Amino acid sequence: MVSTQIELVSEQRCFGGWQRRYRHQSQVLDCEMIFAIFLPPQAAEQPVPVLWWLSGLTCNDENFVTKAGAQRLAARLGMAIVCPDTSPRGTDFPGEHDSYDFGSGAGFYVNALEAPWHAHYRMYDYVTDELPQLVRAHLPVSDQEAISGHSMGGHGALVCALRQPGRYASVSAFAPIVNPSDCPWGEKAFSGYLGDDRSAWAAYDTCALIERGDSRQPLFVDQGLADNFLDSQLRPERLRAVCERHQHPLELRLHDGYDHSYFFIATFIDDHLRYHAKHLGLIPDLES
């Protein structure tokens, strides 16, 4: 039973619902954490399905909330959106704040194995276990859930869904890191958090999980072709190739001229909300 309390940090009325931030003490991460949630108007009457949004490098719980423009359609669909932070906070390990792609703001949604990170950096357990229990215990959301994210968070969303077949009604991602075991961002993070044994890395690598074949979860991915990280870090062609080899369901959309920013996310977020709404049993053909 979840006993942790949540403290309201802020709230704003938004499209008939509420955009809120809550603070709580995480037992899994052993530190204080903040998460954001949009509750649509329907949540005043009954529990509503939830979309988990995982953000990318350098982000926190507020980036999606303030930049994606998702609340208008989420309010019409009756969908809550929960935005966790990307990393433990307040731990202040040596070197934790030295670079943007490791440590603070870069938890990579893994359960760290290496000291000192293993004491706090357990973001996989936080976003898949502790936080969902906490949210359901205190807020009007149902057990119907979908998951999405951007960049490092896109990696996290795909991994969470593939590791737990049947749990999420749907999964999608914007510009995800699909093969972190073989790109600079992932190699730096995984070696630091998980150590040198690459067999441990495979548990958090989308391409490796598809190779393993435990899940047939359909994947919906958007990628901008003007993304500065396309060739060095993201490599969507690897995802396409492994899905084709294993006949894994994938819709990969490539968009000319779009970069890695929230302008890209804001442009296509409604498509993702409708995709998840269909799989969650909400209105599938709602027009904008």
> Catalytic positions, please?
151, 227, 260
DSSP letters spanning 187-220: HHHHHHHH-S-HHHHGGG-HHHHHHHT-----EE
- 237-273: burial string, b at 16+ Cβ within 10 Å, e else: eebeebbeeeebebebeeeeebbbbbebbebbbbebb
* Length of the chain measured in residues: 288
CB atoms within 10 A of CB 113: 15
The dihedral built from the CA positions of residue 272, 204, 129 and 60, taken in this order, carries a sign that is negative
Residues 47, 150, 107: CA angle, nearest 5 degrees: 90
Residues 255, 233, 166: CA angle, nearest 5 degrees: 75
Say if residue 192 is exposed, middle or buried (CB neighbours under 10 Å; 0-12, 13-18, 19+). middle
Q: Which parts of 27-182 fold into alpha helices (H)?
A: 63-67, 71-77, 123-125, 131-138, 152-163
Residues 99, 103, 106: CA angle, nearest 5 degrees: 90
What token pair was written down for 16? 């008939």
